[in-house]
Amino acid sequence: TYHFSNIGQALAGGSGIGELMDDLGQALANGGPDLKMLGGGQPAQITEINEIWRNRLAEISCNSVDSTRLLSIYDPPQGNPRFISAITNLLKDSFGWNLGEENIALTSGGQTAFFYLFNLLAGTMPDGQKKKILFPLVPEYIGYAAQGLDPEMFHALKPEIEEIGQHQFKYHIDFDRMKLGDDIAAICVSRPTNPTGNVLTDDEIKRLSDLAEENKIPLIIDNAYGAPFPGIIFTDVKPIWDEHIILTLSLSKLGLPGTRTGIVIGSPEIIRAVSSMTAIIGLSNPNTGPQVVLPIIENGEILSLSQNVIRPYYENKSKIAQQAARDIFQENFPWRMHLSEGALFLWLWFPGLSITSNELYKRLKAREVLVIPGHHFFFGCDEENWQHRHECIRVSFAMDERIVRDGLQIIAEEVIATLR
Footprint on this chain of ligand PLP (rule: CB under 6 A): 41, 109-111, 141, 143, 190, 194, 222, 224, 250, 252, 257, 262
For the chain, what is the largest distance between any 2 Cα atoms, rounded to a whole number of angstroms? 67
| Closest C-alpha among 304, 296, 308 to residue 86 | 296
Handedness of CA 354, 358, 363, 364 (dihedral sign): positive
| Closest C-alpha among 228, 207, 193 to residue 341 | 193
| SS3 (DSSP) at 403 | helix
Judged by beta carbon, residue 350 or residue 377, the one nearer ligand PLP is: 377
Give least dist CB 126 to ligand PLP, A: 29
Give least dist CB 232 to ligand PLP, A: 10
Burial of 365 (0-12, 13-18, 19+ CB in 10 A): middle
Judged by beta carbon, residue 224 or residue 270, the one nearer ligand PLP is: 224
Give least dist CB 274 to ligand PLP, A: 14
If phi over 0 gives left and psi between -120 and 50 gives alpha, with beta otherwise, what is residue 230?
A: alpha
Judged by beta carbon, residue 263 or residue 381, the one nearer ligand PLP is: 263
Judged by beta carbon, residue 83 or residue 335, the one nearer ligand PLP is: 83
Judged by beta carbon, residue 256 or residue 324, the one nearer ligand PLP is: 256
Q: In the 8-state DSSP scheme, what is residue 219? A: E
Judged by beta carbon, residue 262 or residue 380, the one nearer ligand PLP is: 262
Q: How many CA atoms lie within 13 A of 155 on its CB side?
A: 18
Judged by beta carbon, residue 141 or residue 350, the one nearer ligand PLP is: 141
Question: How does strand 345-349 pair with strand 336-338?
Answer: antiparallel
Is-contact 410 364, C-beta < 8 A?
Answer: yes
Give least dist CB 179 to ligand PLP, A: 26
Give least dist CB 8 to ligand PLP, A: 23
Give least dist CB 108 to ligand PLP, A: 8
How many Å apart are CA 315 and CA 179, to the nearest integer?
36
Q: Which helix (H) or strand (E) holds 265?
A: strand 262-265
Give least dist CB 308 to ligand PLP, A: 23
* Distance in Å from the first CA to the final CA of the chain: 50
Is-contact 338 397, C-beta < 8 A?
Answer: no
Judged by beta carbon, residue 80 or residue 250, the one nearer ligand PLP is: 250
Judged by beta carbon, residue 190 or residue 306, the one nearer ligand PLP is: 190
Give least dist CB 333 to ligand PLP, A: 29
Judged by beta carbon, residue 198 or residue 250, the one nearer ligand PLP is: 250
Question: Who's near 218: CB < 8 A, 6+ residues apart?
Answer: 121, 186, 187, 212, 244, 245, 246, 266, 270
How many Å apart are CA 170 and CA 340, to the nearest integer?
9
| Closest C-alpha among 38, 41, 18 to residue 252 | 41
Give least dist CB 404 to ligand PLP, A: 18
Give least dist CB 140 to ligand PLP, A: 8
Judged by beta carbon, residue 252 or residue 318, the one nearer ligand PLP is: 252
Give least dist CB 366 to ligand PLP, A: 26
DSSP 153-201: -EEE-PPEEEEETTTEEEEE--GGG----TTEEEEEEESSPTTT-----
How many Å apart are CA 418 and CA 157, to the nearest integer?
30
Is-contact 71 287, C-beta < 8 A?
Answer: yes
